[in-house]
A and B are shown apart, each in its own frame.
Chain A
């Protein structure tokens, strides 16, 4: 509980939100879904800023590009028909695997993506889909690629008083396939490992691949070694197995409370292998 928070503000649009954050600085706490705010008891927080009324809670499509507002709830993403049609539904699957139903009802895309805990599943899919991230701050708005947004923890990428406003995803061109798997020990659980892959084929060869792993570091990361093996090759079983093994070697996984680093690394190979195979299969079906 935030005992010293006497006021909650409800900005009506993104400009007002940014202005408020500029004014209050460290005394303000941004609330979206709120799944982490309640566990915060920072006595410096005097002002709460509820972002959910700034009108960024819709999913829209224009010219093949989908934009998701930062206050869209994860459950909305999980059940959205249009999103289900993108990249073989990898973002829908990732959203549907977050926590449990009430958590999905509460958590916003913005919160999930900016807070990115080790257990946040949608960022893995978004990185594989090469999503775009629009930020708004006092100096105006800017757009970052997924690689830029997750280069370090997004909280460090976001500048002072900047908020994430929209996430953009686009249907890939040509013969492409995607897959996302969350491997967890029970149904309502943090991932041991997430993996997401988008593959594009040019004839029989792979022309592009994004292989993303989550659950092993604070942010999702691309296995460049795995991608190097895939791109330019025909995706035989042997090639795909080598790519999965490369992803494992590239993994620097710490142990957690319930699983050790060695097992996690092994699972990167198993799960990355499965998503690569699934994505390749789907891409082949389209070529």
Chain B
């Protein structure tokens, strides 16, 4: 594939295909599509963090007029599985069933009801009598594995389905480790060795549309599920598993999704809705309330211990990252998230000696799962703060320190081979990297060289910077496929399993197809994520849609282009390989041309009739990292501790940006989410494990008036293994805020925050502690 030509459609900020419909408020979301006679479901949730259900009496609820089904562990089959939306066999433990006789966090499922109105369903919940035997909960991840602690998963049928460590008897949900070289020796030999602990908190994705799903029993005995999901094919498989029916009985359709960010990479409510639909023989709609949404899935909170060794000349000698990850009551994504702590952070720098070890523990707290960044966020937090500390300790500018030590083009890291997503990794070398340019341009944009600690009165200003990497798809594991067929007006239907969750992937994939076929983007009509109609795709996660599904689209388009050229060649009486597809026409080298519509009409109706079309699949052989450098300027009120972010620069190498405006949108959205996570998002539990701030009133996310000035700089490179040179961009930029704000606060005040979020209380306490130390 040729490098960096200018393209007709790729690289242009083509308008998002569904943009105008969405701006008109068209009824495209799950809750907009409810059929007549639809029932409403509600879920009864545990008030206890850890308890056995001794008895459930649903008889009164069942006998209420207008209540059509009541489910609980007594009347639903026990099928151990994971809720994680991952390819089979899943790397997450099978520690979950539709309803268990044990509850493991405040908010865990106990029963579900389908009724004529939401109010009736709520009333029915109130009539279900449950008797609990309350057990001692495990609320502190640091203590979860101590001998004598209560065992959260004591069911004999909890297991893993791939050979990975799993020790539920000590509340260990997952473990991974790797080592290259002699870590103790290398740390001892280094001129300077630092050991620090970092802690980052629970957070929730808060998609503005909560989880919701509609299940409809069809006349032929199948069930159609319309759901706000990132993973329609995994939903189909896992719901079939839960209902103990063949996959062919389930049809999953994805409407427009009101945000996912990883929360919807999970089969969280579709099983319930399907069961209720089957039992009641009516369509059933379930939507989580906002407070239930906070308890749906979360980010893994982690404690990271990082030891690093560096020499005075600035060369890195050794790194030892030890992670304790809290996966909450169930283990979905437990192993894979923590693998990414290593695999998406350690390869960024040239470490001669590396050790990485991670334990993931169960606690009786809300369940963590996939969340944009997926472990890289938490590990980059620790790594980039420590890089800043090392640089300053040896008297080196943090920018120069990164420039000296980052991985180079053509190099590799042993971490790639050692760490996969639950298994072995995939070795790869870095074939595209624009990090140096990202660093330089970001530094220039913020005025890095001109910075000095400034402030007026109690307000102190400072600047920080960080470097980041992520990945693009899960190599050798995930697969995406695309089908294209041609219509008589020279338009094409593009059918993809790939899941547009608001990111605009339908548009990006159409651009790739249009580029190959030589047509305008609106000649490519996209149908996505319908399990009866579109080919398979793992779904929207691991930053894979452009890089993985996009390549499947490109392959299918190339096949179709070949077929078009063959027909055109007959029409023009030339050799097929001399034909060029451009502007909706097939051109011979002497300038004669036929319209694509003419080709289509001939192939559909006139001669050698056949459907021009193709199916292509793709799996990736590597996961080429996008790279980024972030710079931030903060102003801290040293009397209140309040941190205001004044400016934020994100310079990003995502390969070719297939659609620059959509790429910027991913960057800006991720940056603001990261800032909010760094400064004000956290879960506050009471001493019985109940979430106290389960509303937007008490769990704050940024609004328009909290924003700094944000500047996005796209630094193009060309990744030849990706469609038209593309890598990925959707996750990486959420990883910058935690470390860069901490580094900027250090620049402003001389205090290091290693526990997030950086609330005013924590900042003030750090200032006080520092001045107390200096008095001593």
> Interface on A for B, CB 8 Å cutoff?
1, 3, 100, 183, 185-190, 192, 257-260, 263, 266-267, 270-271
The 9 closest A-B pairs by CB, nearest first: A187-B705, A188-B703, A270-B639, A263-B761, A186-B700, A257-B698, A257-B693, A257-B692, A187-B706
A sample of 23 cross-chain residue pairs with beta-carbon separation below 8 angstroms, ordered by A number, consists of A3-B119, A183-B640, A183-B642, A185-B642, A185-B760, A186-B679, A186-B700, A186-B703, A187-B703, A187-B704, A188-B700, A188-B706, A190-B697, A192-B760, A257-B693, A258-B684, A258-B693, A258-B698, A258-B759, A259-B761, A263-B761, A263-B764, A270-B640
Q: Is the pair A1, B119 in contact by a Cβ cutoff of 8 Å?
A: yes
Extra A-B contacts (9), CB below 8 Å, given A100-B703, A258-B759: A185-B642, A185-B760, A186-B703, A188-B700, A188-B705, A188-B706, A190-B697, A260-B761, A267-B640
Residues of chain B lying within 8 A (CB to CB) of residue A192: 760
The CA-CA distance from A186 to B697 in the complex, in Å, is: 11
Name the distance in Å between B759's Cβ and chain A's nearest Cβ.
7
Name the distance in Å between B306's Cβ and chain A's nearest Cβ.
28
| CB-CB nearest in chain A for B637 | A270
Residue in A259, A260, A267, A271 whose Cβ sees the most chain B Cβ within 10 Å: A267
Residues of chain B lying within 8 A (CB to CB) of residue A187: 703-706
The CA-CA distance from A260 to B761 in the complex, in Å, is: 9
> Interface on B for A, CB 8 Å cutoff?
119, 639-640, 642, 679-680, 684, 692-693, 697-698, 700, 702-706, 759-761, 764
| CB-CB nearest in chain A for B693 | A257
Residues of chain B lying within 8 A (CB to CB) of residue A189: 700
Name the distance in Å between B347's Cβ and chain A's nearest Cβ.
36
Residues of chain A lying within 8 A (CB to CB) of residue B639: 270
Residues of chain B lying within 8 A (CB to CB) of residue A260: 761
Residues of chain A lying within 8 A (CB to CB) of residue B703: 100, 186-188
The CA-CA distance from A192 to B642 in the complex, in Å, is: 11
The CA-CA distance from A270 to B761 in the complex, in Å, is: 13
Residues of chain A lying within 8 A (CB to CB) of residue B704: 187
Q: Is the pair A185, B764 in contact by a Cβ cutoff of 8 Å?
A: no
Contact of B706 among A186, A258, A266, A270 (CB under 8 A): A186
Name the distance in Å between A269's Cβ and chain B's nearest Cβ.
9
Name the distance in Å between A287's Cβ and chain B's nearest Cβ.
24
| CB-CB nearest in chain B for A263 | B761
Residues of chain A lying within 8 A (CB to CB) of residue B702: 186
| CB-CB nearest in chain B for A192 | B760
The CA-CA distance from A183 to B637 in the complex, in Å, is: 12
Name the distance in Å between B638's Cβ and chain A's nearest Cβ.
10
Residues of chain B lying within 8 A (CB to CB) of residue A266: 764
| CB-CB nearest in chain A for B682 | A258
Residue in B639, B640, B706 whose Cβ sees the most chain A Cβ within 10 Å: B640
Q: Is the pair A263, B760 in contact by a Cβ cutoff of 8 Å?
A: yes
Residues of chain A lying within 8 A (CB to CB) of residue B759: 185, 258
Contact of B680 among A3, A185, A190 (CB under 8 A): A185
The CA-CA distance from A183 to B759 in the complex, in Å, is: 13
Residues of chain B lying within 8 A (CB to CB) of residue A183: 640, 642
Name the distance in Å between A37's Cβ and chain B's nearest Cβ.
17
The CA-CA distance from A65 to B706 in the complex, in Å, is: 37
Residues of chain B lying within 8 A (CB to CB) of residue A1: 119
Name the distance in Å between A24's Cβ and chain B's nearest Cβ.
24
The CA-CA distance from A41 to B96 in the complex, in Å, is: 35
The CA-CA distance from A183 to B692 in the complex, in Å, is: 22
| CB-CB nearest in chain A for B643 | A185
The CA-CA distance from A185 to B644 in the complex, in Å, is: 10
Name the distance in Å between A138's Cβ and chain B's nearest Cβ.
36
The CA-CA distance from A257 to B684 in the complex, in Å, is: 7
Name the distance in Å between B688's Cβ and chain A's nearest Cβ.
15
Residues of chain B lying within 8 A (CB to CB) of residue A186: 679-680, 700, 702-703, 706
| CB-CB nearest in chain A for B698 | A257
Residues of chain A lying within 8 A (CB to CB) of residue B680: 185-186
The CA-CA distance from A263 to B704 in the complex, in Å, is: 27
The CA-CA distance from A189 to B700 in the complex, in Å, is: 8
The CA-CA distance from A1 to B700 in the complex, in Å, is: 26
Residues of chain B lying within 8 A (CB to CB) of residue A185: 642, 680, 700, 759-760
Residues of chain A lying within 8 A (CB to CB) of residue B700: 185-186, 188-189
The CA-CA distance from A263 to B640 in the complex, in Å, is: 9
Name the distance in Å between A146's Cβ and chain B's nearest Cβ.
27
Residues of chain A lying within 8 A (CB to CB) of residue B706: 186-188
Name the distance in Å between B475's Cβ and chain A's nearest Cβ.
40
The CA-CA distance from A4 to B707 in the complex, in Å, is: 44
Residues of chain B lying within 8 A (CB to CB) of residue A270: 639-640
Name the distance in Å between B185's Cβ and chain A's nearest Cβ.
45
The CA-CA distance from A153 to B549 in the complex, in Å, is: 61
| CB-CB nearest in chain B for A273 | B639
| CB-CB nearest in chain B for A99 | B697
Name the distance in Å between B168's Cβ and chain A's nearest Cβ.
33
Residues of chain A lying within 8 A (CB to CB) of residue B692: 257
Residues of chain B lying within 8 A (CB to CB) of residue A3: 119
The CA-CA distance from A169 to B698 in the complex, in Å, is: 33
Name the distance in Å between B732's Cβ and chain A's nearest Cβ.
25
Residues of chain B lying within 8 A (CB to CB) of residue A100: 703
The CA-CA distance from A271 to B119 in the complex, in Å, is: 45
| CB-CB nearest in chain A for B703 | A188
Residues of chain A lying within 8 A (CB to CB) of residue B698: 257-258
The CA-CA distance from A115 to B640 in the complex, in Å, is: 29
Name the distance in Å between B737's Cβ and chain A's nearest Cβ.
15
Residues of chain B lying within 8 A (CB to CB) of residue A263: 760-761, 764
Residue in A185, A192, A267 whose Cβ sees the most chain B Cβ within 10 Å: A185
| CB-CB nearest in chain B for A259 | B761
Name the distance in Å between A189's Cβ and chain B's nearest Cβ.
6
The CA-CA distance from A183 to B702 in the complex, in Å, is: 16
Name the distance in Å between A217's Cβ and chain B's nearest Cβ.
19
Name the distance in Å between B461's Cβ and chain A's nearest Cβ.
19
The CA-CA distance from A60 to B760 in the complex, in Å, is: 41
| CB-CB nearest in chain A for B458 | A270
| CB-CB nearest in chain A for B707 | A187
| CB-CB nearest in chain A for B684 | A257
The CA-CA distance from A187 to B706 in the complex, in Å, is: 6
Name the distance in Å between A158's Cβ and chain B's nearest Cβ.
26
The CA-CA distance from A185 to B680 in the complex, in Å, is: 8
The CA-CA distance from A237 to B640 in the complex, in Å, is: 19
| CB-CB nearest in chain A for B676 | A186
The CA-CA distance from A187 to B702 in the complex, in Å, is: 8
Residues of chain B lying within 8 A (CB to CB) of residue A259: 761
| CB-CB nearest in chain A for B704 | A187
Residues of chain A lying within 8 A (CB to CB) of residue B693: 257-258
Residue in A259, A260, A270, A271 whose Cβ sees the most chain B Cβ within 10 Å: A270
| CB-CB nearest in chain B for A189 | B700
The CA-CA distance from A189 to B695 in the complex, in Å, is: 12
| CB-CB nearest in chain B for A190 | B697
The CA-CA distance from A103 to B640 in the complex, in Å, is: 27
Name the distance in Å between A162's Cβ and chain B's nearest Cβ.
30
| CB-CB nearest in chain A for B760 | A185
The CA-CA distance from A267 to B641 in the complex, in Å, is: 10
